[in-house]
């Protein structure tokens, strides 16, 4: 009878985690493979079964492949033996990485192939002739050490390529636990580098071992829970993994994971920098001249260090001068220097002008500042400068919109803002405001309100006067004002422009918020900034700037809609459909539900509406203008859209049925446990002078806009304009509506019915 691998008891025993679990599973597989070897008639001489790679290290996770070699002596026939060993493994559905080679063949391959060379560094005897396993282990190590320089160079390139492809475990919403920067593969690479003569520095082994246990435990539980060979910790899996590991909630777990990954990443970066320095030599790194460094700081061999005679204990600004020098040169800070800076004299309160200037210059250096802050924070040197950092450090933002942890997001925003300083009057306030705009997150209460209160303490401590403190508070208070208004409100409405102008107050603040909006959006994620959003924010800023410069609101909002050409078309009193680029204009006899029908046809054809405007002429004709984008990164199929639209307007298209069919076939975006948006309707009767603004939030999907507009039509509401936005997997749509008499809706009962109708239609939609 063929020996069976039964892992059920081991998988169900959740008391074993991380390294301990992997060791036990490896032992379990060892015993099984020995049984298979014996059952297959495996000899004691001339052939051997050995574990290599991760299995050789006894680090099998639930979803790991079993990597083994069948080694044999020349002239020994092992073909039948290999089949008798491999087939029972495959028959049980086990993923097997295998090879059948002589020791010499394996070493020949390892001399030119990095994967083979690293695999045999962890060769481990399982069964058969142990002499072959020992020979491969000894000669493989000798070969590795002999070719150390070549392998170090190739590994360095691979590490950087892998990081670029897989991102950072510490800061991403859904990290790759194995291949990401700060993941398990980095620890493996560190071990290989050590075998090539690049040892870790004092204290790093313990730090790496502790961090490795955290990341490996996460991977083990992820694969144990899902039953899949997966290394990416998806958002919907994080709650279950956190509970299995004994954390109170997923936020606490992800923060611990982030902390561990940061440690691995930082130690890894330090090691590979030393590798590059040793391979290149001290004269090949292109750096600024040493004399360009600040007082007490030098740049040598690509690193920033303290100059002879520098005394951190007596110089509170030295740490900032080191940071600025490192950022300006995009250089690392020497470990000995970091250790010395631990003795730094605290900054005075409030900061001096020099301290504030250096702090600002750090972030004006742009992207290199991110790594400098990370280095200082990793060594406990950042929090004394910025005490509030402790609350946001490694704190996740578990939603589909943000890609970074809070601390990294703030650093990224500040770095992005450095490229936009030519657009503002006060570059210092821009980079500091960018760093502070989300500082209230991670604390009880609304993060904006909390942030404004914190800035009232932080800014004076940094030496900013009352006027500058107020501006920094305004930047925090209104950091979402421009993007939210631009994408959700009618920019041709007088009330919209007046509201923003009154909120912002000055041109200086408007320019700062404009730059902050772009920097913040780019740092948030790829979906948060694009040409459409950039265009809308630009229009809003131009119009508000006109008002703040003394111009009239009426002039600012005169958009020329309808255009003279469109008025001529309306005068023809016949149906006309025109398309230009990403816009479609529909002119038709004014009839109830026209807007809804157009929206439905657009959705049916895989188009997302970005914005829309409507106009009713005195001659009973209506104009509907939509701006759209394709959901499939393809050209807009205008010919098909127009054909369907003609049918829909003539009442010859079963629009509701077709949208229902498309919705059922639609592959919905992943819904995240605990983060599902429930339909919500917000009514604003203050923003616009002549319309009621309805903001509708709901899970996105096929036909959502059509359902909303059909519900509005059924209540005799006219839509004058609309802004449509998708945030993550949710739709956030705004509609300017009037009643059948062309007035705002002020009757509370009527408003209640509107809300009830919208929620009913959306709840039916989300239940599909």
* pLDDT tens column, 81-91: 999 999 999 99
Give the pLDDT confidence of 713-756 residue by residue, as tens digits.
999 999 988 888 877 678 889 999 999 889 999 999 999 999 99
My answer on whether 105 and 225 are in the same domain is: no
Is the pLDDT assigned to residue 671 strictly greater than 70? Answer: no
Q: Is the bond into 621 cis (omega within 30 degrees of 0)?
A: no
My answer on whether 122 and 231 are in the same domain is: no
The answer to whether the beta carbons of residues 704 and 696 sit under 8 Å apart is no
The answer to whether the beta carbons of residues 720 and 595 sit under 8 Å apart is no
In a domain? residue 297: no
CATH of the domain at 139: 3.30.460.10
Give the pLDDT confidence of 614-633 residue by residue, as tens digits.
888 888 999 999 999 887 76
Is the pLDDT assigned to residue 288 strictly greater than 70? Answer: no
Q: What's the average model confidence in pLDDT over 310-326? A: 96
CATH of the domain at 649: 3.30.70.260
What pLDDT does 134 receive?
97
Alpha-carbon distance of 29 to 7, in angstroms, equals 9
My answer on whether 108 and 155 are in the same domain is: no
In a domain? residue 160: yes
Q: pLDDT higher for 180 or 557? A: 180
What pLDDT does 126 receive?
98
Tell me the two tokens of residue 424: 């503002």
In a domain? residue 286: no
> Of 92, 122, 146, which closes a domain?
146
What share of the chain in percent tops pLDDT 70?
A: 96
Q: What is the mean pLDDT of the chain?
A: 92
In a domain? residue 729: yes
Lowest mean pLDDT among 183-192, 373-382, 521-530: 521-530
User: At 282, is the pLDDT very low, low, confident or very high (cuts 50, 70, 90)?
Assistant: low
Lowest mean pLDDT among 327-331, 516-520, 524-528, 749-753: 524-528
My answer on whether 34 and 77 are in the same domain is: yes
Q: What's the average model confidence in pLDDT over 477-494? A: 93
Alpha-carbon distance of 192 to 190, in angstroms, equals 5
User: At 689, is the pLDDT very low, low, confident or very high (cuts 50, 70, 90)?
Assistant: confident
What pLDDT does 662 receive?
84
The answer to whether the beta carbons of residues 575 and 649 sit under 8 Å apart is yes
Q: What's the average model confidence in pLDDT over 647-671? A: 80
My answer on whether 667 and 631 are in the same domain is: yes
Closest listed residue to residue 343, CA positions, set 308, 370, 379: 379
Pairing of strands 692-699, 576-580: unpaired
My answer on whether 134 and 168 are in the same domain is: no
My answer on whether 728 and 593 are in the same domain is: yes
Q: pLDDT higher for 531 or 352? A: 352
My answer on whether 208 and 275 are in the same domain is: yes
Give the pLDDT confidence of 473-484 residue by residue, as tens digits.
999 999 999 999
Closest listed residue to residue 603, CA positions, set 584, 581, 589: 584
My answer on whether 192 and 94 are in the same domain is: no
The answer to whether the beta carbons of residues 766 and 696 sit under 8 Å apart is no
* Bridge partners, residue 68, by sequence: 51, 98
In a domain? residue 485: no
Sheet architecture: strand order including 621-630: 576-580, 583-589, 621-630, 607-616, 718-727, 730-738, 692-699, 680-684
CATH of the domain at 230: 1.20.120.330
Lowest mean pLDDT among 126-140, 331-345, 351-365, 517-531: 517-531
What pLDDT does 13 receive?
87
Closest listed residue to residue 478, CA positions, set 445, 437, 442, 518: 437
Structural domain for 275, as ranges: 150-280
> Of 93, 114, 146, which closes a domain?
146
What pLDDT does 699 receive?
86
My answer on whether 740 and 603 are in the same domain is: yes
Domain count for the chain: 3
User: At 400, is the pLDDT very low, low, confident or very high (cuts 50, 70, 90)?
Assistant: low
Is the pLDDT assigned to residue 666 strictly greater than 70? Answer: no
Q: What's the average model confidence in pLDDT over 759-768? A: 72
In a domain? residue 137: yes
Other C-beta atoms closer than 10 Å to the C-beta of 670 total 13
What pLDDT does 669 receive?
52
Q: What's the average model confidence in pLDDT over 308-336? A: 95
My answer on whether 171 and 271 are in the same domain is: yes
pTM: 0.86
Alpha-carbon distance of 273 to 335, in angstroms, equals 12
In a domain? residue 398: no
Q: pLDDT higher for 202 or 711? A: 711
Is the pLDDT assigned to residue 380 strictly greater than 70? Answer: yes
User: At 218, is the pLDDT very low, low, confident or very high (cuts 50, 70, 90)?
Assistant: very high
Closest listed residue to residue 702, CA positions, set 618, 593, 623, 605: 605
What pLDDT does 674 receive?
47
What pLDDT does 632 receive?
75
Give the pLDDT confidence of 323-363 residue by residue, as tens digits.
999 999 999 999 999 999 999 999 999 999 999 999 999 99
Q: What's the average model confidence in pLDDT over 665-671? A: 56
In a domain? residue 287: no
> Of 106, 121, 146, which closes a domain?
146
User: At 412, is the pLDDT very low, low, confident or very high (cuts 50, 70, 90)?
Assistant: very high
My answer on whether 27 and 104 are in the same domain is: yes
């Amino acid at each position: 009878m063929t020996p069976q691998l039964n892992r059920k008891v081991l998988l169900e025993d959740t008391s074993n985690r991380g390294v301990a679990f992997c060791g036990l599973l490896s032992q379990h597989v060892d015993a099984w493979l020995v049984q298979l070897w014996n059952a297959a008639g495996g000899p004691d001489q001339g052939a051997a079964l050995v574990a290599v790679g991760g299995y050789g290290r006894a680090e099998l996770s639930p979803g790991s492949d079993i990597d083994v070699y069948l080694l044999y002596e020349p002239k020994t026939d092992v073909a039948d033996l290999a089949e008798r060993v491999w087939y029972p493994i495959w028959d049980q559905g086990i993923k097997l990485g295998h090879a059948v080679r002589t020791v010499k063949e394996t070493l020949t391959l390892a001399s030119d192939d990095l994967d083979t060379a690293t695999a045999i560094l962890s060769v481990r005897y399982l069964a058969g002739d142990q002499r072959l396993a020992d020979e491969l282990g000894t000669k493989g190590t000798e070969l590795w050490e002999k070719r150390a320089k070549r392998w170090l160079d190739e590994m360095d390139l691979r590490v950087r390529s892998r990081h670029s492809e897989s991102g950072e475990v510490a800061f991403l919403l859904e990290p790759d636990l194995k291949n990401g920067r700060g993941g398990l593969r980095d620890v493996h690479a560190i071990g290989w580098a050590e075998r090539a003569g690049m040892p870790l520095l004092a204290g790093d082994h313990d730090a790496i071992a502790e961090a490795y246990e955290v990341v490996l435990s996460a991977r083990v539980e992820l694969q144990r829970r899902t039953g899949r060979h997966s290394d990416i910790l998806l958002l919907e899996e994080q709650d279950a993994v956190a509970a299995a590991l004994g954390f109170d909630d997923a936020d606490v777990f992800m923060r611990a994971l982030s902390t561990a990954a940061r440690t691995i990443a930082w130690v890894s970066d330090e090691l590979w920098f030393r590798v590059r320095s040793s391979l290149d030599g001290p004269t090949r790194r292109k750096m600024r001249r040493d004399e360009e460094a600040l007082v007490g700081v030098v740049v040598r061999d690509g690193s920033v260090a303290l100059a002879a005679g520098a005394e951190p204990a007596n110089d509170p600004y030295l740490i900032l001068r080191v940071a600025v020098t490192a950022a300006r040169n995009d250089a690392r800070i020497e470990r000995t220097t970091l250790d010395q800076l631990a003795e730094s004299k605290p900054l005075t309160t409030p900061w001096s002008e020099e301290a504030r200037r250096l702090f600002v210059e750090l972030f004006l250096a742009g992207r290199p500042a991110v790594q400098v802050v990370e280095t200082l924070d990793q060594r406990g040197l950042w929090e004394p400068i910025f005490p509030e950092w402790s609350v946001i450090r490694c704190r996740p933002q578990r939603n589909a919109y943000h890609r970074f942890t809070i601390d990294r997001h703030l650093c990224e925003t500040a770095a992005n803002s450095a490229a936009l300083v030519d657009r503002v009057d006060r570059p210092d306030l821009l980079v500091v405001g960018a760093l502070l705009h989300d500082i209230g997150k991670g604390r009880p209460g609304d993060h904006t309100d909390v942030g404004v209160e914190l800035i009232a303490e932080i800014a004076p401590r940094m030496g900013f006067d009352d006027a500058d403190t107020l501006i920094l508070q305004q930047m925090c208070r209104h950091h979402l004002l421009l993007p939210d208004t631009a994408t959700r409100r009618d920019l041709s409405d007088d009330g919209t422009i007046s509201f923003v102008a009154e909120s912002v107050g000055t041109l200086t603040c408007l320019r700062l918020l404009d730059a902050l909006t772009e920097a913040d959006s780019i740092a948030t994620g790829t979906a948060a900034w694009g040409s459409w959003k950039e265009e809308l924010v630009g229009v809003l800023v131009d119009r508000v700037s006109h008002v703040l410069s003394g111009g009239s609101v009426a002039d600012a909002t005169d958009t020329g809609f309808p255009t003279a050409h469109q008025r001529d078309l309306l005068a023809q009193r016949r149906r006309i459909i025109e398309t230009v680029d990403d816009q479609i204009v529909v002119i038709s006899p004014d009839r109830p539900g026209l807007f809804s029908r157009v929206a439905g046809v657009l959705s049916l054809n895989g188009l997302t509406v970005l914005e829309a405007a409507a106009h009713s002429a005195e001659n009973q004709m209506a104009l509907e203008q939509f701006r759209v984008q394709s959901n499939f990164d393809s050209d807009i199929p205008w010919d098909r859209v127009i054909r369907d639209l003609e049918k829909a307007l003539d009442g010859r298209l079963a629009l509701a049925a077709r949208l229902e069919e498309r919705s059922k076939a639609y592959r919905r975006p992943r819904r995240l446990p605990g983060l599902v948006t429930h339909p919500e309707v917000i009514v604003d009767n203050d923003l616009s002078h002549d319309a009621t603004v309805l903001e509708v939030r709901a899970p996105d999907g096929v036909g959502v806009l059509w359902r909303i507009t059909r519900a509005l039509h059924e209540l005799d509401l006219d839509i004058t304009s609309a802004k449509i936005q998708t945030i993550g997997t949710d739709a956030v749509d705004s509609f300017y509506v009037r009643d059948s008499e062309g007035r705002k809706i002020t009757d509370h009962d009527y408003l209640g019915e509107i809300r009830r109708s919208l929620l009913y239609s959306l709840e039916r939609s989300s239940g599909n």
